[in-house]
Amino acid sequence: MVQRKITKTALTENAVLDALESAVMTLDAQHKLRFMNPAAENLLRISQHQARGQTVAALCSIVGEDRFAALFADATDLNGTILRRALPLQLHDGSHAVVDLVVTPLADGHLIIEMRPMELPARHAEEEMQDRIYGAAQEMLRGLAHEIKNPLGGLRGATQLLERELQRPELKDYTRVILHEVDRLHHLVDRLQGPRSRPIFASVNIHQVLEHVRRLLQTELPTGIALRFDYDLSIPEVYADQEQLVQVFLNLLRNAQQALDRHGTILIRTRVDRYVTLLHQKFRLALRVDVVDSGPGIPEDLLPRIFLPLVTSRAAGMGMGLAIAQGLVRGHGGVVHCHSRPGETIFSVSLPLGQHREEPQ
């Protein structure tokens, strides 16, 4: 009976740690990994099964002269918590992260390590801003659509009546131009408002979607642009509207192509994230698709507004691709994030995987 109580307590503690967004690890007296929560797996890009028994130094290193061993020894000697802020890390796969590091000693030389990624507050702030901007844009577009469509309807009707009264065929060419432009404006307003139909959900293999998009795009790519892939083929099927996902990634890839201006690299990467918050709901599993280009980057003043309709840095662009992609992704309960700097722009699409949904905290 005592053993059962201990097991239940341990399971409850692990469940609490699993739900945290901070990366948490426990180390034994030799400072080797005993446990890591999903956030730590995401941050360090390694599974608990692979990492168990290794030292933290084998999974990541502190950029500079500091060493984990010294921090751990200081925490043990002081018998108190040590906090290091904005610590730059290099991960075992060569990537980088910046974290706040908390080291807490336990009995018998064991340690609890907590790493809080600096990007989390920025990501949450970005999502809150996107929510406000998206809601305001949709409200503005609904009003704008009403004010534009009403006179367009009257203009179209009057033109059709005028066309019936005209006897000379060459004059009817002018009315056809008017009708064509009226219909074009009507279609533009519809596009500004976003998708009119709800997604038709079914099980979809994301890699089949991406391969279909690749075939569509391949014929348009200049010879100087290389299209590369980094797929995690173990990713299960996602519950989504396949046609809408094709539209999302076609828009993102065409944007990447236009940013490169006939020379550079586009990378498509698929991964699974665990315990992710999307649109204020928490999911145990989420699909993440990154579209990465090596272009000059997005101007810093434009970055907060890139998902708004009609916002574009290209003279010939309409600024609709990203707005449409965001609307379609949000219709799937997902989010789109963008990180950009000269030489690397990443658009990340995150979608819920399976039915592993939890109530928002």
pLDDT for 180 beyond 50: yes
Query: What pLDDT is attached to residue 240?
Result: 94
> What confidence category does residue 128 fall into, taking pLDDT thresholds of 50, 70 and 90?
low
What mean pLDDT value characterizes the chain?
80
Helices marked H in 194-320: 206-218, 242-260
pLDDT at 315 over 60: no
Question: Considering only 99-103, 255-259, 302-306, 348-352, which range has the smallest mean pLDDT?
Answer: 302-306
**Domain match, 55 and 129 both:** no
Are residues 343 and 206 part of one domain?
yes
Token digits for 236?
Answer: 């299960």
Most confident of the following: 11-25, 146-160, 248-262: 248-262
112 and 126 part of one domain: no
**How far is it, in rounded angstroms, from Cα 177 to Cα 278?**
46
Same domain? For 215 and 330 the reply is: yes
207: three-class secondary structure by DSSP:
helix
Comparison of pLDDT for 167 and 31, the residue scoring more: 31
pLDDT, greater one: 8 or 108: 108
d(CA 282, CA 277): 4
Average pLDDT over residues 69-85: 86
Alpha helices in the chain, H assignment, sequence order = 2-19, 38-44, 48-51, 56-59, 68-78, 119-165, 169-193, 206-218, 242-260, 321-331
Can you give the pLDDT at residue 356?
39
pTM confidence score: 0.64
Is the pLDDT score of 147 beyond 50? Answer: yes
Same domain, yes or no, for 47 and 182? no
Answer yes or no: is 290 within a domain: yes
pLDDT top residue among 157 and 266:
266
Q: Kindly report the CA angle at 176 between 171 and 177, in degrees rounded to 5?
A: 100
Whole-number pLDDT of residue 188: 66
Confidence class for position 246, pLDDT limits 50, 70, 90: very high
For the segment 293-298, the average pLDDT, to the nearest whole number, is 90
Q: Which domain holds residue 222?
A: 202-353
Phi-psi label, residue 62: left if phi above 0, alpha if psi -120 to 50, beta otherwise:
beta
Q: How far is CA 61 from CA 86, 93, 167, 301, in A?
A: 14, 11, 83, 34
pLDDT of 203 > 80? The answer is yes
Residue 25, pLDDT > 50, answer yes
Spatial distance between the Cα atoms of 261 and 321, rounded to a whole number of angstroms: 17
Find the angle CA(324)-CA(330)-CA(335) to the nearest 5 degrees: 100
The whole-angstrom separation of Cα 340 and Cα 299 is 9
Residues 111 and 159 in one domain: no
Type of residue numbered 264? G
* Total structural domains within the chain: 3
CATH for 103: 3.30.450.20
Token pair of 338, please?
A: 């963008």
DSSP string over 21-82: SSEEEEE-TT-BEEEE-HHHHHHHTS-HHHHTT-BHHHHEEESSS--HHHHHHHHHHHTS-E
Is residue 270 in some structural domain?
yes
| pLDDT tier for residue 179 given thresholds of 50, 70 and 90 | confident
For residue 337, give the CATH number of its domain.
3.30.565.10
89 and 28 in a common domain = yes
Average pLDDT of span 15-19: 74
Q: Is 92 exposed, middle or buried (0-12, 13-18, 19+ CB in 10 A)?
A: middle
Same domain, residue pair 47 and 65: yes
Q: Are residues 100 and 151 in the same domain?
A: no
Asked whether residue 1 is assigned to any structural domain, the reply reads no
